[in-house]
């Protein structure tokens, strides 16, 4: 499966952005999807994940209540709605796909190219 992330940009603290990740290739609905982020000088970290049928979602504690992951299998797209953004959310955001639902970036086989989110204070 090929993944294309988009929707990043520059936003002020307290603002919102919605990231999208469009999938092509193999059957999108067969994959669990995750969002990860990587700030300069840090390791890639888990942000959110969603199961194939949207029945299960997971979030890292720092984004709970602010971010929402969702997917539309008819459109082969997964989303990350980000509200109440903080400067510490600044990072390159990546979407990823795998047959296993996990929070570990090492487990994901397929990755998008990343989209930069910058939150100014």
63-88 pLDDT, tens per residue?
A: 999 999 999 999 999 999 999 999 99
Is it the case that residue 25 has pLDDT exceeding 90? no
Q: Is 36 helix (H, G, I), strand (E, B) or coil?
A: strand
Tokens of 64: 């709970």
Question: Residue 10 has what pLDDT?
Answer: 98
Q: Residue 88, exposed/middle/buried by CB under 10 A (0-12, 13-18, 19+)?
A: exposed
How far apart, in Å, are the Cα atoms of 13 and each of 16, 62, 79, 83, 90?
Answer: 9, 15, 20, 10, 10
Average pLDDT over every residue of 13-24: 97
Is it the case that residue 29 has pLDDT exceeding 90? yes
pLDDT tens digits, one per residue of 30-76: 999 999 999 999 999 999 999 999 899 999 999 999 999 999 999 99
């Amino acid at each position: 499966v090929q993944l294309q992330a988009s929707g990043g940009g520059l936003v002020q603290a307290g603002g919102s952005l919605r990231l999208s990740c469009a999938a092509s290739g193999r059957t999108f609905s067969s994959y669990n999807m995750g969002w990860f982020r990587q700030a300069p000088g840090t390791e890639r970290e888990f942000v959110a994940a969603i199961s194939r049928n949207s029945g299960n979602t997971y979030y890292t504690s720092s984004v709970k209540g602010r971010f929402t992951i969702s997917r539309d299998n008819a459109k082969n797209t997964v989303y990350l709605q980000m509200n109440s953004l903080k400067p510490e959310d600044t990072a390159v955001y990546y979407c990823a796909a795998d047959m296993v639902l996990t929070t570990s970036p090492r487990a994901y086989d397929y990755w998008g190219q990343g989209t930069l989110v910058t939150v100014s204070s």
